[in-house]
Amino acid sequence: MKRIVFGLLFSVVASVAAGQCRLEPAEDIAQSSPSACKTYYDNVFALLFGGFSEKPEARYASLPSFTEEYAFSLEKDKKGYRIVSTTLTANYRYATRRKNVKTRLSKKHTSESLAVSLRELFRLLIRQIEEPSPDEARRGSDGTTYFFASTDNEGKTAVGETWSPEPASALGRLVGICNDPHAVGNRSTGGRHDRTGEELLGRIRTLTSDLSGNE
């Protein structure tokens, strides 16, 4: 009996992970009705994106329920490609004094091969954005919402999002890549995601190849 229950549980988890390979379209916060949620998003994005380019090659934001929000932007400057990272000093949603929440910013240049591969991965994901089916639409009060944005060759920026994907899913692997300190400038992650640049590049290319089959 235990084997049957475990097998069913594994099948459910595997099917959920297999289905998490496309971003959902992100709501246009600027056009939404006034609410506590809109106020939160307006303010937290202003803090996280304040030092970013308006036309990022790739942009990532992580909004956890209880820990500090953070983001990075892949940008091109005169010296090449750089990753600009921001981390809030406290979780903005539950801060008792939101005015005291500040932004820690760091910048780090990265190789062209890694930057271009990361940009192409983000562009691929943006092209594949679709509305979730009723079975896939799941949100909870706890968890983390992730936002991904990229600017195409015509200068148009699009944004997709996902909520707490299974680690083994394509979107879970994407989050793992974006949380790597090599992908988010100098932000410290306690060594949990410490990877060499070559390994990170390999993971980006593998995920891009896997997702290319969805087009």
87-130 confidence digits (pLDDT tens): 999 999 999 999 999 999 999 899 999 999 999 999 999 999 99
**Quick check: is 3 in a domain?**
no
Cβ-based neighbour number of residue 211 at 10 Å: 20
pLDDT, position 197: 79
Higher pLDDT, 181 or 165: 165
- The answer, yes or no, to whether residue 153 has pLDDT greater than 60, is yes
Cβ-Cβ contacts under 8 Å for 181 (sequence gap 6 or more): 187, 188, 189, 193, 194
pLDDT, position 8: 28
**Quick check: is 195 in a domain?**
yes
User: Quick one: CA dihedral 124, 182, 155, 164, positive or negative?
Assistant: positive
**Quick check: is 71 in a domain?**
yes
The rounded percent of the chain whose pLDDT value lies above 90 is 65
Token readout for 30 is: 């600027």
**Quick check: is 7 in a domain?**
no
Cβ atoms of 75 and 84 closer than 8 Å: yes
The pTM (predicted TM-score) of the whole model is 0.83
Per the structure, the complete domain to which residue 202 belongs is given by: 22-212
Q: Please tell me what DSSP assigns to residue 55.
A: S
By C-alpha distance, which of 71, 63, 81, 76 is closest to 104?
71
The rounded percent of the chain whose pLDDT value lies above 70 is 77
Q: At what angle do helices 170-178 and 197-212 cross, to 10 degrees?
A: 150
**What is the average per-residue pLDDT within 24-34?**
74
- The answer, yes or no, to whether residue 158 has pLDDT greater than 70, is yes
Cβ-Cβ contacts under 8 Å for 123 (sequence gap 6 or more): 150, 152
**Quick check: is 135 in a domain?**
yes
**Quick check: is 1 in a domain?**
no
CA distance 37 to 203: 34
* Cα 154 from chain centroid (whole Å): 23
Mean pLDDT over each residue of the chain, to the nearest integer: 83
Number of domains in the chain: 1
**Quick check: is 4 in a domain?**
no
**Quick check: is 8 in a domain?**
no
